[in-house]
Chain A
Amino acid sequence: MLGVYNVGKTSLVRSFVYSIFEDKYLSTVGVKIDKKPIEIDGQPIEFLLWDIAGEDDHFSVPPTYLRGASGYLLVIDGTRRATFDKALDLQQRTEAAVGPLPFIAVLNKLDLTDQWQLGPKDLAELDQRNWTFIKTSAKLGTGVEEAFTKLGQKILLS
């Protein structure tokens, strides 16, 4: 789970799995790990979700946390335009650190429609970059399962 601070990564994980670790790991170690077994096209796979603390001015994702990853969700806050640009930058850095990996861009906070800032131009840019993206609402649970399933499919195909 990658993305800048407060884009809703933890909420997405929480709505997807039942967590055994407390969220405080995020602020202490910078990562919280959860496990979710799912079935994709009849094949059981198991996600080990590394919910990495959101990047801000003082914290950037440690490359060691990315090491060994099979894929990632790049979370963007649909109500904050700046998170979109930062996600583009984060994706590039991730690719530079661990090489090309399957990923899904997640445009979160879909429930806050009145504050939504991502327009068709942004989505076109994603298309142009050939990114797969899914609009989600961790609060309502919309698109969450789909996002993880799609990522799973991509990983299996890679």
Chain B
Amino acid sequence: MSPADSESDKRPEGQEPQEVLEIEKLRRLITGPERIQIDQLRERLENPELRTKDISQILPEAILLRTSQDEKIAKALAPTVEKAIESSIHRNRKVLVDVLFPVMGPAIRKAVTSTLHGMIQSFDKTLEYSLSLQGLKWRFEALRTKKPFGEIVLLHTLLYQVEQVFLIHRKSSLVIQHVMSKDVKIQDPDLVASMLSAIRDFVQDSFKLEKDESLDTLQMGSDRTIWVEQGAHALLAAVIRGTPPSDLRIALRETLDTIHLRHGEALEVFDGDTALWEAVRPDLEDCLQSRYKPKQKKTFPLFWVLFGTGLVLLGIWCFFSIQTHGRWMHYLERLKGEPGIQITSGEKRSGRYHIYGLRDPLASEPVDLLKKDKLKPDKFVFNLESYTSTHPQVVLKRIDAILKSPSTVHLELKDNVLNISGSASHSWITNMREAIPTIPWISKYDDRNLIDMDLNNFDNLREKIEKRFLLFEFRSAEMAKGQELEFQAFMEDLKNFINLAKGLEKIVQVDIIGHADSQGTERANLLISQERADKILSIIVKEGLDAKSFRTSGLGSRELFREEKTNQDREFNRRVTFRVIG
């Protein structure tokens, strides 16, 4: 409304009614058509129904225009749309469920199927590798890296390369675009795509599949797969070598969706002209993913060296563990068989061996036995209570301890009869014979095979002394030159003999018998021979021996030892000899 119009409604004060009417008439004549338009405009502006109608005519275009410029419309509408959905759900959720079900149902089903398939696939792989040599290697890797075994299996088996990607027009089966990895030998993409479509159709028809079901995986041999994703107007087929991860299918799906979003209309009217479709190449090339077996790290040899060393150490540890265990068992058996030791239990605890049982103090020392099995005493704890064993060997040891047997004596106990053999001193034998009746476990003893060493020596010395002789100077009671050593040896024997005799409580007498050669008269010879015997006696007495044990006599030349042909024979006959009595 213009200011003029608003002013025209006011009547100026002081004007006559006639004039007013004329002016009004004139004004209507001048502004008549515009006034009608103004009234109509006012009506449109003030009438809500008309305004709604007006806005409804331009609203879609306005929204489209603004949407193409920025995102403000979307932002502005978002809360309202959210509220509307919320309100619809509150009011009657069935409406939204019915609308969404045809879309969500297949999508959810497909997602679940795909996930299950992935799980089964990984489970299969895990099983497949769990018992193989490769599997053992991976198990070790799982231990080393502390990752689950399944993850290690997948890590090694998820090696793949997308070799080719086809974007295929659904209706005509023609290839819209095709990309491939380097060094991949291929057949004509058009033919492959057509054949692929034919096969999919064949499967679809043969198995009467639902619309949302289709052949989405083709497995060729053990390592080649074709994954097909189906869109409204186009298919995306990826030829994959190896075992692809399930993520790849999602990537394919997203690529196909993106292409549909951007080029949906163009796809619908595709007429075989591929020149216009270069734009989708980058999208398809993004699908040419690959994951190669990671290169072995440079530290690999070091790992194997460490692994090898570890294995060797483990082997050595096992060897020694087994050996030690073997020795321990052997030792335990030996202890059980040991006279005077009773083992009740033995166990390894906290790295030490604990042995429980009984032990006679005279039994072998368990620690000494360890050495025989090359076991370290510090690893052993003995809990052995003392007891008195009746084992014959221990009893014998006990007898041995009582008798204080010298090492030359051998004792043997059989049916309570003690056999004593070997040799011992006269005094030990005497004591032994006195002690035996006081020792239990012995009913009889036999020492016939026991030699009395003192008595033996006594007899030997007696024989030795009687074989000895001392030579004298011609017509003299002086010992011949060079007889000193012989005399000393004689004196030694004699002293020993006298002492032995005392020990044996034997009363002995030694006759010292003087001799002369045949020269000279018999009387003279008798005298000189007596002198010679007396002379020796005097020396013996001087050496400290009792004269009562000796008796001298002179036989002259009555008992010649040699026939006197030479002077040497005569020297031999000038002698003193000995005889032991008692």
Whether the Cβ atoms of A68 and B195 lie closer than 8 Å is: no
Whether the Cβ atoms of B194 and A62 lie closer than 8 Å is: no
Bound complex: CA of A68 vs CA of B190, how far in Å?
A: 14
Q: Is A48 an interface residue (CB 8 A)?
A: yes
Bound complex: CA of A33 vs CA of B202, how far in Å?
A: 14
Interfacial chain B residues near A35, Cβ < 8 Å: 188, 190-191
Whether the Cβ atoms of B201 and A64 lie closer than 8 Å is: yes
Interfacial chain A residues near B170, Cβ < 8 Å: 68
Q: Is A131 an interface residue (CB 8 A)?
A: no
Q: Give the distance to chain B from A62, nearest Cβ to Cβ, in Å.
A: 5
Whether the Cβ atoms of B201 and A68 lie closer than 8 Å is: no
Whether the Cβ atoms of B171 and A33 lie closer than 8 Å is: no
Bound complex: CA of A35 vs CA of B192, how far in Å?
A: 10
Interfacial chain B residues near A31, Cβ < 8 Å: 195, 198, 202
Within 67-109 of A, Cβ neighbours of B (below 8 Å) are at: 67-70
Q: Is A148 an interface residue (CB 8 A)?
A: no
Whether the Cβ atoms of A48 and B187 lie closer than 8 Å is: no
Bound complex: CA of A6 vs CA of B173, how far in Å?
A: 26
Interfacial chain B residues near A25, Cβ < 8 Å: 195
Residue of A nearest to B173 (CB): A68
The answer to whether residues A68 and B198 also contact, given A35-B191, A62-B205 and a CB cut-off of 8 A, is no
Bound complex: CA of A70 vs CA of B172, how far in Å?
A: 8
Bound complex: CA of A29 vs CA of B204, how far in Å?
A: 12
Q: Give the distance to chain B from A37, nearest Cβ to Cβ, in Å.
A: 10
Q: Give the distance to chain B from A156, nearest Cβ to Cβ, in Å.
A: 12
The answer to whether residues A68 and B202 also contact, given A33-B195, A50-B194 and a CB cut-off of 8 A, is no
Whether the Cβ atoms of A21 and B204 lie closer than 8 Å is: no
The answer to whether residues A62 and B201 also contact, given A21-B195, A68-B172 and a CB cut-off of 8 A, is yes
The number of chain B residues with a CB under 8 A from chain A is 19
Q: Is B169 an interface residue (CB 8 A)?
A: yes
Whether the Cβ atoms of B202 and A67 lie closer than 8 Å is: no
Q: Give the distance to chain A from B3, nearest Cβ to Cβ, in Å.
A: 68
Whether the Cβ atoms of B204 and A48 lie closer than 8 Å is: no
Q: Is A23 an interface residue (CB 8 A)?
A: no
Q: Render B169-182 as a binary contact track against A, CB cut-off 8 A, 1 for contact.
A: 11111100000000
The answer to whether residues A48 and B198 also contact, given A68-B169, A68-B173 and a CB cut-off of 8 A, is no
Interfacial chain A residues near B204, Cβ < 8 Å: 64
Q: Give the distance to chain B from A24, nearest Cβ to Cβ, in Å.
A: 13
Whether the Cβ atoms of B205 and A33 lie closer than 8 Å is: no
Q: Is A30 an interface residue (CB 8 A)?
A: yes
Interfacial chain A residues near B199, Cβ < 8 Å: 29
Whether the Cβ atoms of A67 and B171 lie closer than 8 Å is: yes
Within 458-482 of B, Cβ neighbours of A (below 8 Å) are at: none
Q: Is A46 an interface residue (CB 8 A)?
A: yes
Whether the Cβ atoms of B191 and A20 lie closer than 8 Å is: yes
Residue of A nearest to B205 (CB): A62
Bound complex: CA of A68 vs CA of B188, how far in Å?
A: 19
The answer to whether residues A29 and B198 also contact, given A48-B174, A64-B205, A68-B172 and a CB cut-off of 8 A, is yes
The answer to whether residues A30 and B202 also contact, given A67-B171, A68-B169, A68-B174 and a CB cut-off of 8 A, is yes
The answer to whether residues A50 and B198 also contact, given A20-B191, A35-B188, A64-B205 and a CB cut-off of 8 A, is yes
Bound complex: CA of A33 vs CA of B194, how far in Å?
A: 7
Residue of A nearest to B189 (CB): A35
Within 1-46 of A, Cβ neighbours of B (below 8 Å) are at: 20-21, 25, 29-31, 33-35, 46
Residue of B nearest to A28 (CB): B202
* The one of B169, B174, B202 that contacts A62, using a Cβ cutoff of 8 Å: B202
Q: Render B203-224 as a binary contact track against A, CB cut-off 8 A, 1 for contact.
A: 0110000000000000000000
Interfacial chain A residues near B187, Cβ < 8 Å: 20
Q: Render B301-332 as a binary contact track against A, CB cut-off 8 A, 1 for contact.
A: 00000000000000000000000000000000
Within 145-174 of B, Cβ neighbours of A (below 8 Å) are at: 169-174
Interfacial chain A residues near B172, Cβ < 8 Å: 67-70
Q: Give the distance to chain B from A27, nearest Cβ to Cβ, in Å.
A: 12
Bound complex: CA of A69 vs CA of B201, how far in Å?
A: 14
Q: Give the distance to chain A from B199, nearest Cβ to Cβ, in Å.
A: 6
**Interface-central residue, A20, A21, A33, by most chain B CB under 10 Å:** A33
Whether the Cβ atoms of A33 and B174 lie closer than 8 Å is: no
Q: Give the distance to chain A from B348, nearest Cβ to Cβ, in Å.
A: 71
Bound complex: CA of A68 vs CA of B173, how far in Å?
A: 7
Q: Give the distance to chain B from A20, nearest Cβ to Cβ, in Å.
A: 6
Bound complex: CA of A135 vs CA of B389, how far in Å?
A: 124
Bound complex: CA of A64 vs CA of B204, how far in Å?
A: 9
**Interface-central residue, B169, B171, B191, B204, by most chain A CB under 10 Å:** B191
Bound complex: CA of A48 vs CA of B175, how far in Å?
A: 11
Q: Give the distance to chain B from A71, nearest Cβ to Cβ, in Å.
A: 12
Bound complex: CA of A50 vs CA of B174, how far in Å?
A: 12
Interfacial chain A residues near B201, Cβ < 8 Å: 62, 64-65, 67
**Interface-central residue, B169, B173, B199, B272, by most chain A CB under 10 Å:** B173
Interfacial chain B residues near A34, Cβ < 8 Å: 191
Interfacial chain B residues near A46, Cβ < 8 Å: 190
Residue of B nearest to A69 (CB): B172
Bound complex: CA of A67 vs CA of B188, how far in Å?
A: 21
The answer to whether residues A68 and B205 also contact, given A21-B191, A35-B190, A48-B191 and a CB cut-off of 8 A, is no
Bound complex: CA of A34 vs CA of B187, how far in Å?
A: 11
Bound complex: CA of A69 vs CA of B173, how far in Å?
A: 9
Whether the Cβ atoms of B198 and A20 lie closer than 8 Å is: no
- Subset of 17 A-B contacts with CB under 8 Å: A29-B199, A30-B198, A31-B195, A33-B194, A35-B188, A35-B190, A35-B191, A46-B190, A48-B190, A50-B194, A64-B205, A65-B201, A67-B171, A68-B170, A68-B173, A69-B172, A70-B272
Q: Across chains A and B, which 10 residue pairs bring their CB atoms closest together, nearest first?
A: A68-B172, A64-B201, A33-B194, A68-B171, A31-B198, A29-B202, A62-B205, A33-B195, A35-B191, A33-B191
Given contacts A29-B202, A48-B173, A62-B202, list 8 more A-B pairs with CB under 8 A.
Answer: A20-B191, A25-B195, A29-B195, A29-B198, A62-B201, A64-B201, A64-B205, A68-B171
